[in-house]
Structure 1
């Protein structure tokens, strides 16, 4: 749900531009050049995180389809994405930065930013007392995803992002169809 990082966050994947939807079920115009630029940055960040945490195709698919991760590497993939955007730094969520990043794409008074302002605070409660960086980031991200469903990543774009990941660098025994990577 959240389309994030690098001026977006893994989280910003869910809080991108609020314009007439071109995909069914979403309120984001994924054809907008500004949004496309953020998506490209998000994919580059994800490629780096795949290598850093040795994420699997299932881990990345879960992230991009806003599903809770089912593996430790999936949780750590979410952590990597949020840390690369500085939304999480040393185990602390920077809500102000998250909201600022969302406002760059959506505008300060947009519906996305207003909703994110309250939801991001609610999600802080879900991670209170957590010290494990992967669990903390994953839980926070899951909370955002569950509460901002209308900004979801369309499945076809999620699958396209997964196809661009360099899994062949971390998992040499993957089937050929999953090894393809377009950089």
Structure 2
């Protein structure tokens, strides 16, 4: 379970190669990181089927773009709920920060920034009750404020290619 939680954090907040800028925060060739990515893809595959997410929904999530559909919002909710970052409509900021510390080091720049940004993002969802909107808005806030930690586009596209869209039955 911990590998899935850490993977979701890598995927939704902390991973990355800085948009073409030199310097990588996460070494995507590291077998340990690859294991996290594989677990993240498995979790995403489950969420694709559960919420009937489209390729556009998944691509938006993996490229840190706001979802444009309800299923995209619910895909973000599914990912954050499966990682226990959101449970019963409540964000577990402490878990998010703790797990980010396991990946990046407790006193790293990433964790220090996440500590303040996650608080700001928590304030931005105050009063929301719709689970998909709440999770999506929280995730969007994290992505907007930690833009330098986006997935490299090739890795995002590879994740999208691994999704079981063919298993989604038409309504």
* TM-score, structure 1 as length reference: 0.84
Q: Secondary structure at the match of 1:8?
A: helix
Describe the superposition over 1:125-167 as per-residue Cα deviations: whole angstroms up to 9, x where unpaired: 1100000000000000000000111111011100000000000
Residues 9-48 of structure 1 mapped to structure 2, 5 A cutoff: 10-13=8-11, 14-16=13-15, 24-25=20-21, 26-48=24-46
Which is worse superposed, 99-108 or 53-62?
99-108
CA distance in 1, matches of 2:66, 2:41: 19
Q: Which residue of 2 aligns with 1:176?
A: none
Is contact 2:19–2:150 with CA below 8 Å preserved after alignment?
no
CA distance in 2, matches of 1:35, 1:161: 14
Q: Which residue of 2 aligns with 1:156?
A: 154
CA RMSD after TM alignment: 1.8
Q: Which residue of 1 aligns with 2:140?
A: 142
Is contact 1:16–1:106 with CA below 8 Å preserved after alignment?
no
Describe the superposition over 1:71-111 as per-residue Cα deviations: whole angstroms up to 9, x where unpaired: 00000000000000000000000001101111111111111
**Unmatched tracts of structure 1, length 5 or more:** 173-183
Is contact 2:47–2:75 with CA below 8 Å preserved after alignment?
yes
CA distance in 2, matches of 1:11, 1:146: 15
CA distance in 2, matches of 1:11, 1:104: 11
Is contact 2:19–2:148 with CA below 8 Å preserved after alignment?
no
CA distance in 2, matches of 1:22, 1:132: 32
**2:68 pairs with 63, 67, 70, which one?**
70
**Unmatched tracts of structure 2, length 5 or more:** none
Structure with more of its chain in helix, by fraction: 2
How many residues align structurally?
165
Q: Secondary structure at the match of 2:77?
A: helix
Deviation at 1:68, TM superposition (A): 0.2
Which is worse superposed, 41-50 or 26-35?
26-35
Q: Which residue of 2 aligns with 1:178?
A: none
* TM-score, structure 2 as length reference: 0.90
